[in-house]
Structure 1
Amino acid sequence: MSIWAFSFAMSNSASDIKSAIFWRRISAIGWTSVYSLMLHFLILISNKKLNSKQTKLLGILHLPAIINMYIFSFSNKLAITQHNLIKIDLGWTSRSIGNGLDMFFRLYYISYILMSILVVWIWQRRIEDRQTAKRAKLIAYSLFASGALGTITDIVMTSLLNKPMPQLGPIFILLPAGSMYYAVRYFDIFKAKISKKEEIILTSEEKENIFKNISLGFYTASLLTFLSEYIPYIDEENAFKVALLKALIICSIGIIIRLIQNIKKENIKRNLTTIALILSVPICLFMFVEYGSVTVWAFTMILIAAATIFSKRILLVSITIVSIITQILIWIVHPEITLVVDKYDYILRIGMLVVAFFIGLSTNKMYVSKIKDNKNKVEFQKIVSDILFDFLDINQENFDWKINNLLKEIGEFFHVDRTYLFTINPDNDTMTYSNEWCNRGINKEVGTIEEIPLDVFPWWIEELETKGIVYIEDVDEMPKEAREEQEQLHRQEVKSLVSVPVMVNDKIKAFIGIDSVLENKIWSTENIEMLNIMANILSSGFMQIKADKEIEYMAYYDNLTGIPNRFLFKDRVENAISLAERNERLVSIMFIDLDNFKSVNDTMGHDGGDYLLKEVSDRLSKRIRKTDTVSRFGGDEFIILLNNIDNHNDISKIADNIMRVFSKPFIINGQEVFITASGGIATYPIDGEDSESLVKNADTAMYEAKDNGKNQYSLCTPDMKNEVEKNMKLSNDLYRALERNELSIHYQPQIDLNSKEITGLEALLRWKHPKYGMISPVVFIPLAEKNGLINSIGKWVLKTACRQNKKWQDMGLAHIKMAVNLSGIQFINENIADDIEKILKESKLDPKYLELEITENIAIKETDFVIKVLEKLKKIGVSIAIDDFGTEYSSLSRLKNLPIDRIKIDMEFIQGIKKSPKDQAITGVIINLAKSLGMNVLAEGVETAPQLDFLNQKMCDYVQGYYYYKPMTAEEVEEILKKLKESEKPSITEKVLKPQYS
């Protein structure tokens, strides 16, 4: 291109024809090769997947260029012939001789330009980024403009005009070169980087309206052209034809522009419109070239002004460039011209001004409308931003206030008379008029509209579900199937409305609406979209509230039964206490525990147990008063707040009514299940002044009810509280009892009724409290089990008893058995057998001198586990005894499978022998049963001679009790054993056997 332009300039200013031809031949190197080079370049850029072989084949593209370069540059004979130079005022120009070689060049450059355009067009369709694609189109347009303008000036005009004009090809070729530079420099088009999308200023409809107005301007201009070209020259022979031809040409441009707007595809419509407007400039101006286009040139300013409002500059730039080039051409054709401006010219100018005014007016309306739209969008975005920020902390307490504020913002923004929110209740298929905002002078409807069944307004609901909107421009023209809705809207004096659904989890949770009461109103699509945005904000608010409710439910309600849990219950108790303190009323807590609930789980399964808990909670919830609260405390425990009580008599009446819940059976899986409950009641302020102390004391009273036989309730008493307080003190002191040497072991001898010898000792744990004195094992053993101290205390008892027995044996005293009790918690310890074996090894006591006593309730539970542990103990060599036999529900089938050596009859039966024939019978049965199973029998609590005589008659093996010996210290036992050793007989003397009652 540089060679072409520079050599062309040198040729144009040459002093003689020889020099001019020389430079023309040099310039031919440029203008013959530029088209093939351009096509080659565009193919490479647009298709980067070409391999090296395909790239080499592109060299064929340059063959026509080489031929033309030879003809117009290198061949002396042909070059001189083809360059037909003529001297004009502006320098040397060339007029085509029109031979075959000229035609070959024309075919070459036109076809290569068209192929270049095709390559670029195909390329831009493959580009994903639309902005980059549009820059590629700019190159295509510039190629077309360059080829078209160059053909017109250098071939057509030069051939038609009597006086040849300068050739402008070097100037026009700058168009594609400039467009490529522009695309690369500012948009890096050939790297195909993604650029940001430009803002859409005008919609397709608005652009179409502008072009329709421009086409209307061409229609008007065609009429003015006909009048101005025909009337002044009416007497001339061809005046009508010339005027009509010019008018038809201008009118045709308008028709073409108008028809293009009917094309569906936006890209094609935009491109064809741009081409039509660009071509209209040279066509219109050259029709009046003999007048220097003195008036008509101004129409290009109208097009330029109209193009300024488009976001894409392609139209503005193209029209401006073509207008400038066309003016240059006219300047060249008519450097100077003298004209007479008459009345027709002024009329034409006025007409053009009127056309420009109406086009400008239409454009101005669109521009002002667009400014208003942008202002509304900015305002709406601010409202949305404020509401979104406002909704960040939405909760159940401020929900209504924030909804009302949102409705107010919507109403003021849309300039409507009423905005409202209906919430839909899926549980009962109703909708509630929950929130409303009204402009001044508009009557409020909130409170006047009750819950409405959804089937009352079926058309409305169907519109929301199927179309996602209820849009009514005129209430009077609603369809027949919407009669119910129409009547309701007439009652509210609504003329127009829009309503959109608020969706939560793909279901309609509510719908928001805007009403126009004073006038009929039409809402645009943009307004509806804005309303939908507000509905989406509302949707997020509803979801936040739903999430809060779910979190609150999980935090304060029981998942199984749905009633309040202990956390919510505590909060309500504290509130009730505060109110009772001001009103001087009573507040009671009733603690309920289901009796034998485990048996329900065992027989009906855990699902059956869960169902029972739900049924119990349901019955309790229905039985209590409205001011009361029932809560599931955990497991099978329920706790009830009895609020606003006048006196203590009312407490018992309310409790009796509640306990009647368990008088009827529960139906589980079609079966009747009877279950009882034990309850305890504590009352504010007598039994506690806060929820924690009231619940604790109610729990204490409940256990008192269980101890009294279950299926009843107990009121908390001072004795209960004192007992609990004492037990708590004892429980704390028990932790340090071993360290302080407060624990000791007493031993009670066991007597063989046949030989009257001491055959064994039972180790009995004692605790001497520094404040309370001797504490019964019945009191502190359960505390030790509850606190987890029983294992360490139990080990200490075993170690002490074994060491003591071994010590006596080492002293040469009688080798007798030591009986030690194992608690239930000790027994379920998996390492119990290993621990006992270790203790025996450490004390060096022979296992046969250790007897382990387990209670009957241990023996009858978890049979497989019990047998497994007992067998381990038997392998060690110790003997096993069942203590307190007869107090539980032993199964004979289980008893026969247990590796038991001895049965100890509970003292309850022994002490009733003299008074009760039944106790005599039971005792006799137990003795016979034990002997039948190969076990020996020991009777506990023998205190009288008649008891001893009865046991002798029934052939009981051993006895233990105060008739012979009370529990004694190790020192006292040691003295007795020494006396036995010193006596002549191995049996116990009468003196030794003297009863010890002290």
Structure 2
Amino acid sequence: MTILIIIYLTCSSICLFIGFSILLNNSRQKFNRWFFIVCMNLSFWALMLSFMTAAKDAETVALYRRLTTFSWSTVFSGILYVTIFLVKKENFFKKIWSYILVFSPAVLSTYLYYSQPLKPENFVKTGFGWIIEYPETRGILRDYFFNFYYVIFTAIIILLFINWGKNTEFEREKKQSKIIVYSIIVAFILGTITDVILPNLGFVNIPELSIITNLIVVLSIWYAVIKYSFMSLNIENIVVDVFKIMNEGLIILDSKKIIVDINQGALELLGYEENEIKGKNIEIIFSNKQETDKIETLNSYEIDLLSKNYTNIPVLLSSSILDDGWGGDMGRLIIFQNHCEIRKMQNKLKEAYNGLEKRVNQRTIELKEVNAQLENEIQGRIQKEEEIKKLAFNDQLTGLANRKCFADQVNERIFESSKHKKTFSILLIDLDSFKMINDTIGYEQGEKLLIKVSERLKGILRSNDIIARATGDQFLILIEDYNCNEDIEKKCEYIINKIKEPYQFNNSEIYITASIGASIYPHHGIEAEKLLNNADIAMYKAKEKGKGRFVFFDSLMKKNLDEVMNLTNDLYRALEFNELEVYYQPQINIKSSKIVGLEALLRWNHPKLGIVSPNIFIPIAEKTGLIVSIGEWVLNTACRQVKQWQEAGVCNLSIAVNLSVNQIQSNKIVEQVSKILAETELNPEDLELEITENVLMKDTNFVVDTLKELKQLDIRIAIDDFGTEYSSLNYLKQLPLDRIKIAKCFVDGIDKNINDEAIISAIILLGKKLKLNVIAEGIEEERQQIFLKAQMCDEIQGFYYYKPMPAMEIEKILKKSNN
């Protein structure tokens, strides 16, 4: 049964494939469209048979059998209709009665067998699937009509194909006829045996195989069409569609010289309508009937054609054979053109040639004049190009070479120096704090200052030295022919001193300093960009050392710069990958030696470098702006941890957290602190924020106002590293401070430097007078603790008591301290 289902599904798939392959080959042909419909009909029939075979009960089988009525009762009308087109008898369908004659048996058959279908009891399940036990009678019409319809239509189809093969002139059509006739006869015999003879002999267990016999017929027609290139002689099947829109006349003849198609150009030339000439013999357009024989010569020749109104039209005519690819002559393709039009065109061409010759002579004179103009334009363009080149390689403000021009000249010096084993130095000069000067004196005066600096530099250089303006306030100098590095050092000092000299602006003087970075070829690079970059690195190192000085590049600078760059890149992902950790250092009451508070300190557990010192990565975080997000994370983490310890009864201490300049200037610090206190539910009085004195160096009023807003949240504020940066007694009375923190640099001087001891005593006394708590950090030795206790310092912290520790370790200490 499974095999039978597979056979039916295979038949359905084959019919689908054949139908679509024929339709997609040429959907415009009526034959192809109807053949597609027949294939879809058979595909549906086979599909329903597979469903019938797979059905579980007789009721379902009866339903599918009833649906197949639409296929098997109409298939022979469909095949007959396709056959009539295939054998070129389509004129049969000019009358409406012909359609009734072909399709009425199918309609009647569908009505008879769908309106009174077989009942479930007529189906019996066997090892081959479901078979039909026909009732003894369903009426004479239903018992015999389909067999009569099947036999008559099959016979008509066979006779049509036999007649077609016998009368056709083409070998390919004879072969098509034989293939199809033989296949229909075989299918008819097989169908008769399986559906009539064997059941009458008692073989009732045979499944329905008529779909296979019908598939044989369809396959044979499909094979004949594909194998022998079935073609009707019409414009759709010949690759001449493009000629339909030609102005020239085009006529297609069949093998009997009957006009089967004609284009618009021919109709207009001959004066006919398409229906007046199509289907007529070609003789109709020849005045002399014998001249039609010239068509067979396949040459181009001049001849007179006869129009509809019997006037002779001289034309140039040519013809070619339409071959079916199997040696058969399908007809002729005739193309012709009005000879009068050709002559007119020849005359026009001659006139055009004469006119063209005059215009060429005239144009030659004009071109000479244009050439003279072009010469003047070329000279003008050369001048423009020189100006553009000057713009591209020169600084517009100072008239010096620009950076690109300087780099090109450096490359030239490298080429020469490499041949003669010479050396030279690149100096990058950067004017210190030029932006501040520009903001002070104005942009226009700033440009004048740059011009004065460039003139001063040109005045102190030798003729073979090269100078350029790199960027806004940077200049480049190439110095060669020097004996040793000391010569370069002297040159740099001389340049710095000359730049320091005052610049006169009206009745005032302006002073400016410069920092210089120097690189030497070939020690610091053998390429221009490398030398320039290394000079740039050295210049920034000079600025770090205090500005107004010069520095030679060395490889350590590049290494340090690379390390900083790598750390910067790693720091961007440190927070995301949980590499940052908060350590806690206890703060001790100096009288009772008990822990009274904690300070949160940030540590970075680098995956490759291990613990990175805060002194290294905190400045990087501040430069990149990462300190804002990192600082917020530290504050959140510390507050949450202390709150957990308080709730767990581990401690009841306050926590001190450092704030950076960037955090305070972010305009969001008050909102962040307020939000974190609300989320962690930490008592504001248990939070202390530490700021350093350098915070006050940038927009003091804004900082003071921000700290006052923070103070309104009931938190405490401390000043860290007091006395090391911007110590001013004025800001002490403005800031809402609760505590002063003595810097470690002063604590280190106890018992070593009386000045440090005096400063510590003064800070403690000042704190007492201002009613501020005083704490000292960095206590590492007992003598420091004794001195601070004698000076009545309130609290201390440092390695003498506890080092900074992770949360788990400090928790153990806090629990032990409580016990």
TM-score with structure 2 setting the length: 0.52
Pair 1:592 & 2:432 matched: no
Structure 2: how far apart are the matches of 1:561 and 1:920?
56
Question: How big is the shift at 1:878?
Answer: 2.5
1:733 alignment partner in structure 2: 570
Structure 2: how far apart are the matches of 1:572 and 1:618?
20
Change (3 A) 1:688 1:981: same
Structure 1: how far apart are the matches of 2:575 and 2:742?
31
Match of 1:683, SS state, is strand
2:792 alignment partner in structure 1: 955
1:627 alignment partner in structure 2: 464
Deviations 1:387-423 (A, max 9, x none): 544566x5xxxxxxx4xxxxxxxxxxxxxxxxxxxxx
Change (3 A) 1:742 1:620: same
Change (3 A) 1:379 1:728: same
Which one-letter code corresponds to 1:844 in the other structure? E
Structure 2: how far apart are the matches of 1:666 and 1:928?
49
2:810 to 973, 977, 982: 973
Question: How big is the shift at 1:977?
Answer: 0.8
Deviations 1:310-345 (A, max 9, x none): xxxxxxxxxxxxxxxxxxxxxxxxxxxxxxxxxxxx
1:757 to 586, 594, 604: 594
Aligned runs of 1:542-941 on 2, under 5 Å?
Answer: 544=384, 548=388, 552-553=390-391, 555-597=392-434, 600-601=437-438, 604=441, 609-643=446-480, 647-941=484-778
Which one-letter code corresponds to 1:887 in the other structure? T
Question: How big is the shift at 1:713?
Answer: 1.3
Which one-letter code corresponds to 1:894 in the other structure? Y
Match of 1:630, SS state, is strand
Question: How big is the shift at 1:874?
Answer: 1.9
Structure 1: how far apart are the matches of 2:553 and 2:624?
24
Structure 1: how far apart are the matches of 2:796 and 2:772?
15
Which one-letter code corresponds to 1:781 in the other structure? I
1:385 alignment partner in structure 2: 370
Match of 1:771, SS state, is coil
Q: Is the 8 A contact 1:750 1:958 kept in 2?
A: yes
Change (3 A) 1:658 1:809: same
Higher mean Cα deviation, 967-976 or 643-652? 643-652
Q: Is the 8 A contact 1:860 1:894 kept in 2?
A: no
Structure 2: how far apart are the matches of 1:766 and 1:944?
24
Question: How big is the shift at 1:800?
Answer: 1.6
Structure 2: how far apart are the matches of 1:702 and 1:799?
40
Which one-letter code corresponds to 1:759 in the other structure? V
Match of 1:818, SS state, is strand
Structure 1: how far apart are the matches of 2:626 and 2:693?
22
Aligned runs of 1:121-140 on 2, under 5 Å?
Answer: none
Structure 2: how far apart are the matches of 1:926 and 1:602?
38
Q: Is the 8 A contact 2:742 2:760 kept in 1?
A: yes
Q: Is the 8 A contact 1:586 1:646 kept in 2?
A: no
Which one-letter code corresponds to 2:648 in the other structure? M
TM-score with structure 1 setting the length: 0.43
Structure 2: how far apart are the matches of 1:839 and 1:681?
50
Structure 1: how far apart are the matches of 2:520 and 2:490?
14
Change (3 A) 1:894 1:633: farther
Which one-letter code corresponds to 2:388 in the other structure? D
Q: Is the 8 A contact 1:585 1:645 kept in 2?
A: no
2:174 alignment partner in structure 1: none
1:84 alignment partner in structure 2: none
Change (3 A) 1:560 1:735: same
Q: Is the 8 A contact 2:430 2:516 kept in 1?
A: yes
Question: How big is the shift at 1:829?
Answer: 0.8
Aligned runs of 1:28-67 on 2, under 5 Å?
Answer: none
Structure 1: how far apart are the matches of 2:438 and 2:767?
34
Structure 2: how far apart are the matches of 1:379 and 1:931?
106
Change (3 A) 1:927 1:631: farther
Which one-letter code corresponds to 1:846 in the other structure? N
Question: How big is the shift at 1:556?
Answer: 4.4
Aligned runs of 1:137-536 on 2, under 5 Å?
Answer: 381-389=366-374, 402=379
2:153 alignment partner in structure 1: none
Match of 1:571, SS state, is helix
Structure 2: how far apart are the matches of 1:901 and 1:607?
48
Question: How big is the shift at 1:541?
Answer: 6.9
Structure 2: how far apart are the matches of 1:847 and 1:377?
98
Deviations 1:903-959 (A, max 9, x none): 222211221232222222222333333444443222221222332233233332222
Match of 1:810, SS state, is helix
Q: Is the 8 A contact 2:456 2:499 kept in 1?
A: no
Change (3 A) 1:601 1:947: farther
Deviations 1:246-285 (A, max 9, x none): xxxxxxxxxxxxxxxxxxxxxxxxxxxxxxxxxxxxxxxx
Structure 2: how far apart are the matches of 1:575 and 1:825?
46
Question: How big is the shift at 1:714?
Answer: 1.4
Which one-letter code corresponds to 1:921 in the other structure? A
Number of aligned positions between the proteins: 461
Q: Which runs of 5+ in 1 are unaligned?
A: 1-373, 395-401, 403-537, 983-998
Structure 1: how far apart are the matches of 2:645 and 2:639?
10
Deviations 1:529-581 (A, max 9, x none): xxxxxxxxx5x875x458636xx53x544455443443433333333333333
Question: How big is the shift at 1:973?
Answer: 1.0
Which one-letter code corresponds to 1:864 in the other structure? N
Deviations 1:50-93 (A, max 9, x none): xxxxxxxxxxxxxxxxxxxxxxxxxxxxxxxxxxxxxxxxxxxx
Q: Is the 8 A contact 2:519 2:535 kept in 1?
A: yes
Match of 1:820, SS state, is strand
Question: How big is the shift at 1:668?
Answer: 4.0
Structure 2: how far apart are the matches of 1:757 and 1:577?
70
Q: Is the 8 A contact 2:696 2:726 kept in 1?
A: no
Q: Name which one, 1 or 2, has greater alpha-carbon Rg.
A: 1
Deviations 1:661-701 (A, max 9, x none): 24533334433444333222122332233343333332332
1:8 alignment partner in structure 2: none
Question: How big is the shift at 1:611?
Answer: 4.2
Higher relative contact order (Cα pairs below 8 Å, separated by 6+ residues)? 2
Q: Is the 8 A contact 1:860 1:890 kept in 2?
A: no
Q: Is the 8 A contact 1:608 1:669 kept in 2?
A: no
Percent sequence identity over matched residues? 47
Structure 1: how far apart are the matches of 2:499 and 2:382?
44
Structure 2: how far apart are the matches of 1:541 and 1:856?
63
Match of 1:877, SS state, is coil
Which one-letter code corresponds to 1:778 in the other structure? N
Structure 1: how far apart are the matches of 2:473 and 2:763?
37
Structure 1: how far apart are the matches of 2:731 and 2:434?
24
Match of 1:887, SS state, is coil
Match of 1:740, SS state, is coil
